[in-house]
Amino acid sequence: MAKIIKKILVANRGEIALRVMRSAKEMGIKTVAVYSEADRKAPHVVYADEAVLLGPAPSSQSYLKGDRIIEACIKLGVDAIHPGYGFLSENADFAQAVADAGLVFIGPSARSMQMMGNKLAAKHAVKDFNIPMVPGLDEAIADISKAKRVAQEVGFPILIKAAAGGGGKGMRVVEKMEDFEEQMNLAVSEATSSFGDGSVFIEKYIGAPRHIEIQVLGDTQGNVVYLFERECSIQRRHQKLVEEAPSALLTPDVRKAMGEAAVRVAKACHYVGAGTVEFLCDENLNFYFLEMNTRLQVEHPVTEMITGLDLVREQIRIAAGEPLGYSQEDLSIRGHAIELRVCAEDPTNNFTPDIGQLKTYRRPQGYGVRVDDGMEEGMEIPVFYDPMISKLVVYGATREEAMDRMKRAIEEYQITGVATTLPFGTYVMNHPAFRSGQFDTNFIKHHYRPEDVLPKGNDQELAAILSAAELDKKQLSKTNDTSNTNGISAWKMNR
């Protein structure tokens, strides 16, 4: 049934709020921003046609206030809510409340979200659909002696994982039986404090995996297509830093097999909208289902660049009840795209989040360069939210061209006042392992040393810079550590 969408409220902040509003504007749809007291002057608030203050800076008092957001929609005559990523985007209760209020939720049904929101529930949902899974136990472990038996069977190293986990949190590698019990207790308490749900399960720890995920789109008529893969193996703390499409690893046959598996996963939960099915790939190109993210993904722009489809426009069209209008055969890959997450983090100090003001902020320009951001020069990076400043996305005819363009764009990008991941991006683009496509999720652990991104000088000078930076950071990290942990747990607890 077709629905008319004339006004959208974006229940998010920063780059993704702007990203969504831009597509809405192109479609002739009015936009409403929401904001916290920390974001009064933020670009997403200025850009929107209307804006609503939600409350104080902490997300639990602002961006996670689902009831206030729905109230605002009713008051302002909003037709649909776009949740972005993070915050309420994977909260099934919120999606249901939106629908109950007679509004359109731009995303899947609350039921699909419930099925895929919990990693164990997801494994159960896809069980009968011929989807390869990481070997392990597909139920929560309660009995420690049974857990030990399973660990023995699966074979060490194993990974203990929080069923409700996300954002790279709630995972523990166990190398040997002697460590099992202690690690399991730690995993349970971490899962309880971060996600409000202590259920954990066991997976075989894949030694040198690549994280490769498939973008899917499903419409309300039951058509589902895959928009190929994104390679996201360059990670720190199990979180992505560099993403690209297509992957340098996949053959057309494996791409098709993974794409079709992803479509089966989407069909298993009657998926509607844009979603991502995540897989791990081993060195023999065997792939294993990890989880499904029931939202627009941070790294969606690389898929847009190689398919020519605006994913937010597609999400809105689908939410309005329009059919996809194309089939799998109509889709193809053109060129190569790479994204770097430009985060306020210090690559010389364990990627610790940095705080401060963007004293200088000048974006790169030119052919094949796209910057998705939500910041302006002079702004403070709020400590309450994700420390991502922008996503630097480049497009090239070939992978080689895209890598070289990324280097050029990073060189043009001027940011002072906070440490960023920009120098790390240059390091990756120059690295022989990345350039040749021979890398996995251990890239940072195996190759990267902080001194690799420091300016070249004589050894003494280098040592001095390093120790000064470390001293500085030691003082800073005390405040950072707590604010960051709180940020993540508050965000995830409310899913």
Q: Which residues bind ligand ADP (CB under 6 A)?
A: 85-86, 134, 159, 165-168, 171, 203-206, 209, 211, 235, 238-240, 278, 280, 290-291, 293, 297-299, 386, 441, 487-488, 491
Residue 164 identity (one-letter amino acid): A
- Minimum distance between the CB of residue 461 and Mg ion, rounded to whole angstroms? 41
- Minimum distance between the CB of residue 183 and ligand ADP, rounded to whole angstroms? 15
- Minimum distance between the CB of residue 291 and ligand ADP, rounded to whole angstroms? 5
Distance CA 268, CA 265 (A): 5
Closer CB to ligand ADP, 236 or 255, in the complex: 236
CA 81 to chain centre: 20
Diameter of the chain measured on Cα atoms = 70
DSSP state of 225: E
Query: Among 236, 285, 288, 242, which residue's Cα sits nearest to residue 265?
Result: 288
Closer CB to ligand ADP, 379 or 488, in the complex: 488
Q: Which residue minimizes CB distance to ligand ADP? A: 86
The entry of ligand ADP, Mg ion, none near residue 165 (CB within 5 to 8 angstroms by kind) is ligand ADP
The entry of ligand ADP, Mg ion, none near residue 299 (CB within 5 to 8 angstroms by kind) is ligand ADP
Two tokens, residue 91: 């909260």
Closer CB to Mg ion, 242 or 324, in the complex: 242
- Minimum distance between the CB of residue 125 and Mg ion, rounded to whole angstroms? 16
Instruction: Please check whether residue 250 is in contact with residue 271, taking contact to mean a CB–CB distance below 8 angstroms.
Output: no
Instruction: Please check whether residue 254 is in contact with residue 212, taking contact to mean a CB–CB distance below 8 angstroms.
Output: no
The entry of ligand ADP, Mg ion, none near residue 235 (CB within 5 to 8 angstroms by kind) is ligand ADP
Distance CA 205, CA 180 (A): 14
Residues 6+ positions from 488 with CB-CB distance below 8 Å: 167, 169, 194
- Where does this chain touch Mg ion (CB under 5 A) — which range of 4-12, 151-159, 254-262, 276-284? 276-284
Choose, from 295, 370, 399, 405, the residue flagged as catalytic: 295
Distance CA 139, CA 331 (A): 37
399 backbone φψ class: left, alpha, beta (φ>0; ψ -120 to 50): alpha
Closer CB to ligand ADP, 79 or 339, in the complex: 339
Total of residues contacting Mg ion (CB under 5 A): 1
Closer CB to Mg ion, 278 or 299, in the complex: 278
Q: Which residue has the tokens 């049934």?
A: 1
The entry of ligand ADP, Mg ion, none near residue 213 (CB within 5 to 8 angstroms by kind) is none
- Where does this chain touch Mg ion (CB under 5 A) — which range of 50-58, 184-192, 270-278, 315-323? 270-278
Give, for 5, the enclosing helix (H) or strand (E).
Answer: none
- Where does this chain touch Mg ion (CB under 5 A) — which range of 120-128, 263-271, 277-285, 437-445? 277-285
Closer CB to Mg ion, 262 or 355, in the complex: 262
- Where does this chain touch Mg ion (CB under 5 A) — which range of 120-128, 271-279, 359-367, 479-487? 271-279
Per-residue binding letters, 344-383, with Mg ion (x by CB under 5 A): ----------------------------------------
How far apart are the two ends of the chain, measured CA to CA in Å? 29
Closer CB to ligand ADP, 205 or 351, in the complex: 205
Judged on CB neighbours under 10 Å (0-12, 13-18, 19+), 267 is: middle
- Minimum distance between the CB of residue 123 and ligand ADP, rounded to whole angstroms? 11
- 405 annotated active-site: no
Instruction: Please check whether residue 48 is in contact with residue 29, taking contact to mean a CB–CB distance below 8 angstroms.
Output: no
Alpha helices in 344-398 (DSSP H): none
- Minimum distance between the CB of residue 162 and Mg ion, rounded to whole angstroms? 12
- Minimum distance between the CB of residue 460 and Mg ion, rounded to whole angstroms? 43
- Minimum distance between the CB of residue 302 and Mg ion, rounded to whole angstroms? 16
Distance CA 184, CA 416 (A): 42
Two tokens, residue 271: 């998926």
Closer CB to Mg ion, 226 or 289, in the complex: 289
CA 160 to chain centre: 21
**Phi, psi dihedrals of residue 454, rounded to the nearest 5°:** -80, 150
Query: Side-chain half-sphere of 170: how many Cα atoms within 13 Å?
Result: 28
Q: Residues interacting with Mg ion, by CB under 5 A?
A: 278
Q: Which residue numbers are catalytic?
A: 295
